[in-house]
């Protein structure tokens, strides 16, 4: 069996690492935060309902919020949006929503197929909607959870009142209650508004790493 010798310079670095690990850990810069209830760490939110806070923050981040009184209203407003945008095909990940929209004779809605590169938009649900930041939580345990929220040029999310929570920590607890602490999804994604980047010459560009437009259809039912 071959034996590889460690260089003197590398051994010196490793000695310093071992010594640092044996030393007492660095004191936290703000130890008093451990004694503050988590809810008091965040900035104060406006005295409004979680739904109103989410709608405001989601719109502020560049999303398009659409209020629907019920599922029938959702189908009507989705049809009007598709006509206004001249969308030819919308794919739908959740089977229950797809069945409902087909029943409502929205003939441009298709079952999700990742080989369909011509679709104009994709409909998904979410694990939770965070009122404080207007963010949406997705996971790999949702139908096509790894690809549906980012693969198509427009992302449409269907949100119900029970999906909306105040903060991210509550959203994660919601998922732990749903899947179990030891059975959490292998991927959890927190999306805030449409995809955007300023990596190239500090110029803001949308739709580079994901959807260029994001719509939230809130069904108050």
Identify the band that residue 114 occupies on the pLDDT scale cut at 50, 70 and 90: confident
Q: At 90, is the pLDDT very low, low, confident or very high (cuts 50, 70, 90)? A: very high
Share of the chain above pLDDT 90, in %: 63
Domain containing 109: what range? 49-192+202-219
Question: Number of folded domains in the chain?
Answer: 1
Q: Is residue 126 part of a domain?
A: yes
Phi then psi for 50, rounded to 5 degrees? -55, -35
Is 41 inside a domain boundary? no
| Percent of the residues in the chain that have a pLDDT greater than 70, as a whole number | 81
The CATH code of the domain that includes 128 is 3.40.50.10420
* 85 within some domain: yes
Examine residue 39 and state whether it is found in any structural domain, yes or no: no
Q: Of the candidates 156, 172, 162, which has an alpha carbon nearest to the alpha carbon of residue 216?
A: 156
Confidence check: pLDDT of 3 > 60: no
Of 37 and 96, more confident: 96
Average confidence (pLDDT) over 166-173: 93
CA angle (180, 185, 188) in 5-degree steps: 120
Confirm whether 106 is domain-assigned.
Answer: yes
- Least confident segment among 13-17, 136-140, 162-166, 208-212: 208-212
pLDDT recorded at residue 4: 59
Task: Quote the pLDDT of residue 10.
Answer: 83
Is residue 139 within 8 Å of 183, Cβ to Cβ?
no
Per-residue pLDDT, averaged over 153-164, amounts to: 96
Residue 1 counted as domain residue: no
Residue at 135 is within a domain: yes
**Residue bearing the bigger pLDDT, 135 or 45:** 135
pLDDT exceeds cutoff 90 at 202? no
Whether 159 maps to a domain, the answer reads: yes
In the prediction, which pLDDT does 167 show? 93
Rounded CA separation 208/1 (Å): 50
């Amino acid at each position: 069996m071959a034996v590889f010798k460690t260089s003197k310079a590398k051994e010196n670095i490793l000695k310093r690492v071992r010594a640092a690990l044996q030393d007492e850990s660095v004191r936290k810069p703000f130890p008093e935060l451990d004694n503050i209830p988590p809810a008091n760490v965040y900035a104060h939110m406006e005295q409004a309902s979680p739904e109103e806070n989410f709608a405001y923050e989601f719109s502020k981040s560049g999303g398009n919020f659409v209020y629907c009184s019920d599922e029938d209203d959702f189908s009507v407003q989705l049809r009007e949006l598709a006509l206004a945008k001249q969308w030819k095909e919308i794919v739908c990940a959740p089977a229950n929503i797809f069945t409902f929209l087909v029943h409502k004779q929205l003939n441009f809605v298709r079952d999700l197929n990742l080989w369909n590169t011509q679709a104009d938009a994709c409909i998904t649900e979410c694990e939770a909607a965070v009122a404080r930041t207007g963010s949406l939580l997705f996971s790999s345990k949702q139908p096509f959870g790894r690809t549906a929220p980012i693969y198509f040029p427009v992302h449409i999310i269907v949100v119900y009142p029970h999906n909306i929570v105040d903060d991210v920590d509550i959203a994660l607890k919601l998922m732990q209650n749903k899947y179990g602490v030891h059975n959490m999804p292998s991927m959890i994604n927190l999306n805030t508004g449409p995809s955007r980047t300023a990596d190239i010459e500090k110029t803001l560009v949308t739709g580079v790493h994901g959807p260029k437009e994001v719509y939230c259809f809130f069904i108050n039912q």
